[in-house]
Chain A
Amino acid sequence: MERRGDVELFLVTGVISSMIFFVGLFMGFSIGGQKMSILQNSINNLEQNIQAANLHFNVLEIMNESVSCDFMISLADELGTEASELGRRLEQMEIEGRMMTEDYTVLKRNYMVVLINDWVTIEEIKMRCETNMSTVLYFYSNVNCLNCEEQASVLNYYKKILDSNLMIFSLDADTDLTVINALTSTYSISEYPSLLVNGEVHRKYVSKTNMSSYLCDFSNYSMC
């Protein structure tokens, strides 16, 4: 029976456990850091694609040539898909969001900026080309929002049905960003959820039925 050396036993255990624990933690944070850098790269890519689209508009304008709508619509589709994929991945990083708060906040702010840029570009494409692509700017809050869960569910439902014909841009109103503040103030949004569906503002929860009529007012989708 071990009677002597128990202090040594506790100490050796402490050293080995700490090593295992901190190696595990280090691996977790390294992977977290890697994920953040992958996301940041994706954000940068999206930003570049948006800039390229805008450049394309400008060049055509200078050259006085008409815009190739087929190309622009497929570009809008691509930009929307990229943005939604980014949003999904960002959501999956909730744990890191709580553990690596600062890095995550920066990443989220970058994402919000690029998302708004994306929305502006797609709206531009919609203005210039005839397309039945609906856009929804969805303002939500994690702090003070009773029906955000339901609103997200309704939007997700129509996204599944309309696929690339519906582009949703979810904006976290709690993010401290001038551009978000500017948008909420322009559209007099103070309650959440609030939606901007194809340019029309709705400052309350939009039910499944109402959303269907707003979307169908815009275009005669097969579901209408």
Chain B
Amino acid sequence: MDLKFLILMGLYYFMIYTCVFWFIVYFRNRRNVEKNPFPKRFPKVSVIIPVWNGERTIKRAIDSCIKLNYPDKEIIVVNDGSTDRTREICETYVKKNKIVLVNKENGGKATALNLGIKKATGELVACLDADSYFSKKAILNMVGYFNDKKVAAVTPAMKLTEDKTIWQKIQLIEYYFSIYLRKVFSFVGSQYVTPGPGSMYRREIIQKVGGFEEGNITEDMEIAFRIMDAGYDIENSANAYTYTEGPETFKELVKQRTRWYAGYLENVNKYRKMLFNPRFNVLGLFLLPTNFLWIFTLFYVSYMSIDATLMYASESVRSLMAINFDIWPLIANFKFDFDLLFAINPLTILALLFVVMSIIVIYLSYKVSDEKITKKYVPHLFGYFFIYFALLSLFFASAITYKLVRGGNTKWKGAEM
């Protein structure tokens, strides 16, 4: 048996193992997926909204905070040197005593968040990107997790605000999948991102660990790694819904994902001591190492597909040239002689098993996200299965190039979300 097939079989085993691992985690905890701990008390929550040139969405974000179903809250908007009408819009809320507005020079999202935390008076802080908004019960559903003193942060369940373009349709499924993943990761203490749109923190702990790292391109990932490194836990509420905007165009999507994945590589490199470290349990022993294997799988499968496509294309062109492009006899005498039995081989069976598992994952993702699979999701699912996986390797390739070109000096301009 040649090496190429041995590698492929190894990767199939790895993919099956990973799916089964998270299925088991899910089924062991299935009764707790939608259950949130009842809050023993309702501590004051400071909602911090860092914003840079967010005139289009800031009103929606503030309004959602005002409408939050929570007894004791304050809203702090940190204007990170906006040059549009953001300040003007926020000041109308200040006049009504609805929010606290802090203006500062542009310095990046992490600086805005840190300033917000400094001004906050709540025992808990909730961060909200300016292009996102809370559902009414989001904070209420998350607060109960802070009954446990070891919990430093709680992440929400993020959904997209709209799905107009094909790129947003793909992301919609990806966000449901993330809701499932975040929940199962939380069951084994392995959440390594506390997303910008809606994560909550215990203020005392976040200040103790030094706040958000300024200049880090994915500060919401870095803080999660730091919290776990300090020995605290991160929980998740699968029904604390927050809504955020996904990139509309391919170019914007590539830009966003390049930042995310470059940030991932940067932070994993920074916290490489966690890799294979039993102190970090599933995160260190399984999740972080297998993420690298997933990246390898993506590249390997992409390489194989591109190689096969190029070979097939080149063979086709050569064949057509040999018959001087006279394809009419081939078309006129075409016979469809597909033989199902002969199309099946050990690799197609393993691929089929993986497809079945992927379908189960999608089903669970919809279930955890409290959504129903209907006909309207056909284009979304089609895009997710046929475009998204091909795109992932592109995102990683782009992220690696970005890291190589920019090195470690990556700074995101402004409070871009």
A interface with B by C-beta (< 8 Å): 1-3, 6, 9-10, 12-14, 16-18, 20-21, 24-25, 27-29, 31-32, 34-35, 38, 88-89, 92-93, 95-96, 98-99, 101, 149-154, 156-157, 160-161, 163, 207-208
Contact = CB atoms under 8 A, between A and B. Distances in A.
Contacts of A101: 1
A193 B282 CA distance: 57
Interface string B331-354: 011000101011111111110110
A16 B27 CA distance: 14
B24 A29 contact: no
Nearest to B330: A160
A34 B68 CA distance: 64
B349 A27 contact: yes
Given A99-B1, A153-B318, A157-B326, A3 B189 contact: yes
Interface of B: 1-2, 5, 9, 12-13, 16-17, 20-21, 24-25, 28-29, 186-189, 233, 235, 281-282, 285-286, 315, 318-324, 326, 329-330, 332-333, 337, 339, 341-350, 352-353
Q: Which 8 residue pairs of A and B lie closest in terms of their CB atoms, listed nearest first?
A: A28-B346, A153-B319, A150-B322, A28-B349, A95-B345, A17-B17, A160-B333, A92-B342
B349 A9 contact: no
Contacts of B320: 153
A157 B329 contact: yes
Contacts of A25: 9, 346, 349-350
Given A28-B347, A101-B1, A149-B315, A208 B25 contact: no
Nearest to B186: A1
Contacts of A2: 25, 28-29, 187-189, 282
Given A1-B188, A6-B281, A35 B341 contact: yes
A122 B303 CA distance: 46
A100 B341 CA distance: 17
Contacts of B344: 28, 31
Contact of B319 (A88, A150, A207): A150
B339 A98 contact: no
A150 B314 CA distance: 11
Nearest to A20: B16
A6 B188 contact: yes
Contacts of B339: 89, 92
Contacts of A6: 188, 281-282, 285
B113 to A, nearest CB: 26
Contacts of B16: 17, 20-21
B17 A29 contact: no
9 contacts: A1-B187, A6-B285, A29-B346, A31-B344, A32-B345, A99-B346, A149-B322, A156-B330, A160-B329
Contact of A98 (B1, B28, B315, B324): B1
B291 to A, nearest CB: 17
Contact of A13 (B21, B332, B337): B21
A24 B318 contact: no
B323 A10 contact: no
B293 to A, nearest CB: 14
A88 B189 contact: no
A16 B323 contact: no
B342 A157 contact: no
A99 B2 CA distance: 8
Contacts of B341: 31, 34-35, 38
Nearest to B22: A13
A89 B337 CA distance: 10
B1 A149 contact: no
B20 A16 contact: yes
Contact of A93 (B337, B342, B353): B342
A16 B352 CA distance: 17
A35 B21 CA distance: 34
A13 B186 contact: no
Contacts of A12: 24
A24 B189 contact: no
Nearest to B12: A21
A22 B35 CA distance: 37
Contacts of B324: 208
Given A95-B5, A156-B330, 18 more contacts: A1-B235, A13-B20, A13-B21, A17-B20, A18-B13, A25-B349, A25-B350, A31-B349, A32-B345, A32-B346, A92-B339, A98-B2, A99-B1, A99-B5, A153-B322, A160-B330, A160-B332, A207-B322
B290 to A, nearest CB: 12
Nearest to B233: A1
B2 to A, nearest CB: 6
Given A1-B188, A2-B25, A28 B350 contact: yes
Given A2-B187, A24-B353, A150-B322, A13 B345 contact: no
